[in-house]
Chains A and B, each alone.
Chain A
Amino acid sequence: MKKTKATIFFIVFISATLRISAQRTVVNLVAKMDVRPQYELWDGNEVMLMGFTKLFGTPLSLPSPTLVFNEGDSVEIKLRNMSQSAPHTIHLHGLDVDQKTDGVPNLSFSVPHDSTGSYIFKAPHAGTYLYHCHVISTIHVQAGMYGVIIVNPPDGSNTTWEGGYAYDSENTWMMSELDSFWHQYNYIHMEGQHEHTNGTPILDYNPQYFLINGKSEKQLKGPDNSIISKIDETVYLRLVNIGYYGNRISLPEGLNAKVISSDGRPLPAAYDTDTLEMYPGERYGLLLQPSEVFEDSIQITYFDLNTQISKSIQQMPVKVSEVNGLNTGLVSKGLNIYPNPFKNEVYISTNNLHSYILTVSSMNGAEIMQLEVSDHLELQKLDMADLSAGIYILNINTEASSQNFRIIKN
């Protein structure tokens, strides 16, 4: 009898454990550091980064991968530190997690080199958040250890939050600056200060590069960054400032921009505007509802918080047409399509799409390939070596939505 009870208890325990495990969304991040300059800036200069990637072999980029969850998800972020030097953490900025998960050294925990740490939490309110290392945060954030966290409503639908605004497509822009002197080998590696302890020297901050999703100037002219929409489509624009400067966003009137949320919460009173200022650590959510055909740009002014003097203006192209819009932002529901343009292969990574149908078509609508992707596959490789050079449409079709992305073969 005792044996039977023990067996039943064991089966129930195992079942419960597996169920909990099955419901948890696990994201693997690797913290690492470049050993030589590899991140190309708009003028051809290359700098070293310290940052997060999903796979050790993937080069570091700015920002680090976007993480996408649904509200209520049980999440585990496993951080593997392979940076050869400093300890690192993940601060879940705005997610209001408990102290031990907050990612602040001494108050929670830090992950030394060649070690792994886990951040376990429940994804809170639908909204836009960010994550960054909080070890000598002044240096590590500037080095590149930051990314966006998007929390969708519980059903994962294209809605700003449960009972909120519906939208057709979304773009996420993370603003930052880069001071190349902070990315020199001796500084980023902090020789003699591998623990990156208190008392660390900080350089004067005089950034030369002003970034949107890690790009600036002519790099912003490509299809990956533009907002391309159709009349009467609704675009959800998520704005994040992780820099040390202020941002002034100037929007063309034709976009009919409405500010609806900030810092992961709906505003008590949404309002229409053509200008928005945002400051380090803030996030804003805007709905764009163009009612006319036009081509213009959204201007982002970067200004010094001490002098309030503008240091740079970056321009993001906007095109509103009468035909179907293309969501060309590489971030949508956690999708990352890279490289784009490509030569032979395209990778599609996601952490939040359990299954989807992928279709590649030519610009005149002819279907070239179709693939059903399932089983939580985080990284899908497409072999497109046989295609001729040109522009193709990659469609991702899920239960909740269908979105087009423009990919370019060189």
Chain B
Amino acid sequence: MKKGLLIFCCTLLYFASHSANTSRSLFIHGGNLIAVNDSLIPYVSFNEFDSFSQNNPVITLNLGDSLSLWVYNRDTIEHQFAIKNIDKPSISIPRLDSIHIDYFFSQAGNYIYYDPLNYPTNTFLGLAGMIAVKNHNYSSFYWNIKEHDKLWNTRIRAGAKVDWDTYYPKYFTINGKSNPMINEDSQARITGKVGDTLILYIANTGQSIHSIHFHGYHVTVLFSSKYTTHVGRSKDTCPVFPLESLVLQIIPDKPGEYPVHDHNLVAASANNTYPNGMFTTILITE
């Protein structure tokens, strides 16, 4: 017990002594997400640069860092900005305006930044990403998981209402990509060697519950924004709830290539075609 406390204190001291101020900018732009079958889905996202990209950038911080954030609204309508589970009110960003805000994270974990205005519509359009606050230096991977419905996005973007009680999404993505393109994303594709400690940050920015199944290895839950009691569990299948974020640890004990996918097996498809959905593989070498 004393040893654990000592390690904890040393970790805090280490990251406190290495704390830094991180400045980042996010630009809200509208565009189209290009689906796996080249279908265009109307989309609005936070972008790292001042142009549309279908990825919401991952902001990585070390525990103890402070974040100085500018958010620019380049869209034609008002948006808001908030970070889930951080005790700060959401901030309005009028069209073509910008805001500046400072954050400090006192706990390592995974936090979702998003547009809470008219929730869930703006978030559903694509305005949600993650902030990974680390207390380690292990290889890390980042999954922004989400499902999409072209008709829903089209209606919402046009200002029309949708009936969430009849929601039946057709596309399922990790970082905006579907199988087989997820393995081309170096932030998403989990690679390592036997015995490595690998850390996976997952944020569900969609409206469906996704049940992520790992072949080959059990994972350990290090962080859950929704169920703190789940920390420490060893699992091969991890449900991820809308606007929930997780941190999982994988220590592979054997080499091989093993699938990871949503075990709601409908989500292994794209526009009713198998297997172009939320499906990727872990690649572990000797």
Contacts and interface: CB of A to CB of B under 8 A. Distances in A.
Contacts of A203: 272
Nearest to B235: A263
A202 B170 CA distance: 11
Contacts of B165: 307, 309
A265 B218 contact: yes
Contacts of B236: 93-94, 96, 263-264, 281
Contacts of B18: none
Interface stretch (B128-136, B185-193, B205-213): B205-213
Contacts of A309: 165
A102 B211 CA distance: 19
A303 to B, nearest CB: 9
A200 B11 CA distance: 51
Interface in B260-284: 262-266, 268-269, 272-275, 281
Nearest to A199: B273
A99 B274 contact: no
A279 B237 contact: yes
Interface string A98-111: 11001010010000
B234 A265 contact: yes
Given A99-B258, A202-B273, A306-B168, A281 B237 contact: yes
Interface stretch (A29-37, A81-89, A133-141, A153-161): A133-141
A43 interface: no
A299 to B, nearest CB: 20
A138 B277 CA distance: 11
Nearest to A92: B215
Contacts of B215: 91, 102, 104
B258 A305 contact: no
Most interface-central of A91, A136, A281 (chain B CB within 10 A):
A281
B49 interface: no
Contacts of A307: 164-167
A259 B237 CA distance: 17
A263 B218 contact: yes
A71 interface: no
A107 B258 contact: yes
B229 interface: yes
Most interface-central of A200, A307, A309 (chain B CB within 10 A):
A307
Interface stretch (A46-54, A162-170, A266-274, A384-392): A266-274
Given A98-B256, A198-B275, A305 B213 contact: no
B272 A102 contact: no
Given A202-B272, A264-B236, A268-B233, A306 B259 contact: no
Interface in A60-99: 91, 93-94, 96-99
A119 interface: no
B273 A244 contact: no
Contacts of A99: 216, 255-258
Most interface-central of A93, A98, A102, A202 (chain B CB within 10 A):
A202
A269 B229 contact: yes
A201 interface: yes
A23 interface: no
Q: How large is the interface on A (under 10, 10 to 19, 20 to 34, 35 or more residues)?
A: 35 or more
Interface string B192-220: 00000000000000011111010111100
A124 to B, nearest CB: 10
A246 interface: yes
A338 interface: no
B254 interface: yes
Most interface-central of B167, B215, B218, B257 (chain A CB within 10 A):
B215
Most interface-central of A98, A99, A279, A308 (chain B CB within 10 A):
A279
Nearest to B284: A99
Given A198-B275, A262-B233, A137 B216 contact: no
B30 interface: no
Contacts of A97: 216
Interface in A199-216: 199-205
Nearest to A140: B265
Interface in A260-306: 262-265, 267-269, 271, 277, 279-282, 305-306
A202 B256 CA distance: 29
Contacts of A136: 274-275
A138 B265 contact: yes
Nearest to B207: A306
A202 B218 contact: no
A102 B258 contact: yes
Contact of A268 (B232, B256, B259, B269): B232
Given A99-B216, A202-B269, A280 B264 contact: yes
Nearest to A142: B265
A267 B233 contact: yes
Nearest to B269: A202
8 contacts: A204-B272, A244-B266, A265-B233, A268-B232, A269-B232, A280-B213, A281-B236, A307-B164
Given A99-B257, A244-B264, A282-B235, 19 more contacts: A91-B215, A94-B236, A96-B217, A96-B236, A102-B215, A102-B259, A138-B265, A138-B266, A138-B268, A246-B209, A246-B239, A264-B218, A279-B209, A279-B263, A280-B211, A280-B263, A281-B211, A281-B236, A305-B211
Interface of A: 91, 93-94, 96-99, 102, 104, 107, 136-139, 141-142, 198-205, 244, 246, 262-265, 267-269, 271, 277, 279-282, 305-309
* 8 shortest interchain CB distances as A-B pairs: A281-B263, A99-B256, A281-B237, A279-B239, A279-B211, A280-B263, A268-B232, A138-B265
